[in-house]
Amino acid sequence: MSTPLLEVRHLTKRFPIRGGLLGREIGHIEAVGDVSFKIHKGECLGLVGESGCGKSTLGRSLLRLIEPTSGEVLFYGENILKMDRTKLRHLRKKVQIIFQDPYASLNPRMTVGDILGEPIDIHGLANSRAEKKKRVAELLDHVQLSKDSIFKYPHEFSGGQRQRICIARALAVGPEFIVCDEPVSALDVSVQAQVINLLMDLQKELDLTYLFIAHDLKVVEFISHRISVMYLGHIVESAKAHQLYRTPRHPYTKALTSAIPVPNPFHKSQRIILKGDVPSPISPPAGCHFHPRCWKASEQCSKAFPEETNGGSDHFFRCFHPNE
């Protein structure tokens, strides 16, 4: 197989907890623990998990918006974590990110024209003012916003339109890979569908690769080719999108998929209701992090963390007692 567009090897991020008189490190939170995966060109990898499972930290670590503690992130075989400033700046032309909250991620004092023009200026992608203007118009066209938006400010737009501006800004530098960090969570259902369609169209049109982070499993299933499920900093299962939902092997994935309310009153689902909350990442349970909430847990689960098992046809999971 060809070199993957992005390969992550044993990525770990620990946040220190400081305390005491001198602010010494008294412990750490392992937000991302030993995560490895590959994304091939044109693919969309979905990353799901509950709040606090480390999915956003992982997404940001890939762009070095958060410096990972250890591990490797290879972009076309080159380690991003070893890059110097100049190289990293060039990388930013290839790798972009879209954030969750379109209200907070746009500068309220800049017009849309300026917002979209800024990355073009920074990377010197336009030789003349006319060329820049043309490029901005092209971007607005990509995200289906009208041309007169250039002179408007973010507050004049609705949530869905603002997210379109964020998408246009990410596209301004002509990236190959975009990290979408909960891009539709803040939007209403009918608008959500519009933005998802837009992202899928753009992926085909511009040959983009996505890492799609979300907690809404239905959305992730719709847009992704492969899905990884995270729990307390670790990827516990990953498989092809339809496979993961039809035959979840890890009990957590099974509980997660069964917990989603089904919009059909005639359907009575066999719901697995997990006991308790997600444990604190400061002191995660020993062994498999999921064992205190798991109905299949045995003695073994509280002692060792299960290794990654290959269940065949690209289906990986970390569990001692997988579902058949």
Partner 1 sequence: MSEQGLEKVLEVKDLVTRFHGEGGVATAVNSVSFDVWKGKTLGIVGESGSGKSVTALSIMRLIPSPPGKIEEGQILLRGQNILDLKESEMRGIRGNKISMIFQEPMTSLNPVFTVGNQIEEVLHLHQKDLLSKADRTDKAIEMLHLVGIPSPEKRVSEYPHQLSGGMRQRVMIAMALACGPDILIADEPTTALDVTIQAQILELMNKLQDDLGMSIILITHDLGVVAETCHEVAVMYCGQIVEFADVHTLFSSPSHPYTKGLLESIPSFDSTVDKKEGRLPTIEGMVPSLFDLPPGCSFQNRCFNVSQKCRGSESPPSEKLEKNHIIRCFHPVENQGERTHP
- Residues near partner 1 (CB under 8 A): 50-51, 158, 160-161, 188-194, 196-197, 200, 215, 217-219, 221-222, 225, 245, 255-257, 259-267, 271, 273-274, 277-278
Nearer to partner 1, 95 or 235 (CB): 235
DSSP string, 233-277: TEEEEEEEHHHHHHS--SHHHHHHHHHSPPS-TT------PPPS-
Nearer to partner 1, 88 or 196 (CB): 196
CB 53 within 8 A of CB 232: yes
Give the other-Cβ count within 10 Å of 31's Cβ: 23
Least separation in angstroms between residue 185's CB and partner 1 is 10
Least separation in angstroms between residue 240's CB and partner 1 is 11
Least separation in angstroms between residue 247's CB and partner 1 is 12
Between CA 224 and CA 207 the distance in angstroms is 15
Q: In the numeric block, which tokens belong to residue 120?
A: 């073009």
Nearer to partner 1, 269 or 298 (CB): 269
Across the strands, what pairs with 277? none
Nearer to partner 1, 86 or 270 (CB): 270
Between CA 49 and CA 56 the distance in angstroms is 10
Least separation in angstroms between residue 226's CB and partner 1 is 12
Least separation in angstroms between residue 81's CB and partner 1 is 30
CB 170 within 8 A of CB 97: yes
Between CA 218 and CA 228 the distance in angstroms is 14
Nearer to partner 1, 181 or 221 (CB): 221
* Sheet (strand 78-79) strand order: 24-39, 6-19, 70-75, 78-79
Nearest to 120 by CA among 109, 136, 108, 98: 136
Least separation in angstroms between residue 43's CB and partner 1 is 11
Nearer to partner 1, 71 or 233 (CB): 233
Nearer to partner 1, 7 or 221 (CB): 221
Least separation in angstroms between residue 80's CB and partner 1 is 28
Nearer to partner 1, 126 or 260 (CB): 260
Across the strands, what pairs with 6? 39, 75
Query: What is the distance of C-alpha 162 from the center of its chain?
Result: 19
Amino acid at 267: H
Between CA 278 and CA 297 the distance in angstroms is 16
Least separation in angstroms between residue 148's CB and partner 1 is 17
Nearer to partner 1, 141 or 277 (CB): 277
Least separation in angstroms between residue 101's CB and partner 1 is 14
* Entry field: residues in the chain: 324
Q: What is the largest CA-CA distance in the chain?
A: 69
Across the strands, what pairs with 34? none
